[in-house]
């Protein structure tokens, strides 16, 4: 279940971001906001928006 949740989140984030290198999804949702070059705030906003949409759609 947990792994599926992370996969869904990864797909949602990938579709939200044009450059696939901005985000690297680790094995845990709490580690999603890790990556390179770009600031944590921008990534956190993206993750927050995606999570909100996921919660609305999959609740």
pLDDT digits (tens, 9 = 90+) for 5-59: 666 666 666 665 544 444 444 333 444 444 444 455 556 677 777 777 776 765 5
DSSP for 1-59 reads -HHHHHHHHHHHHHHH-S-TTSB---SSGGG-S-BSSS-HHHHHHHHHHHHHHHHHHH-
More confident of the two residues 56 and 2: 56
pLDDT for 31: 47
Domain span at 22: 2-58
Query: Could you give the number of structural domains in the chain?
Result: 1
What pLDDT shows up at residue 2? Answer: 60
This prediction's pTM = 0.31
């Amino acid at each position: 279940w947990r792994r599926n949740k992370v996969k869904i989140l990864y797909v949602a984030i990938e579709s939200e971001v044009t450059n696939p290198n901005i985000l690297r999804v680790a094995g845990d949702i709490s580690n999603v906001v890790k990556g390179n070059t770009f600031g944590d705030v921008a990534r956190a906003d993206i993750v927050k928006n995606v999570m909100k949409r996921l919660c609305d759609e999959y609740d």
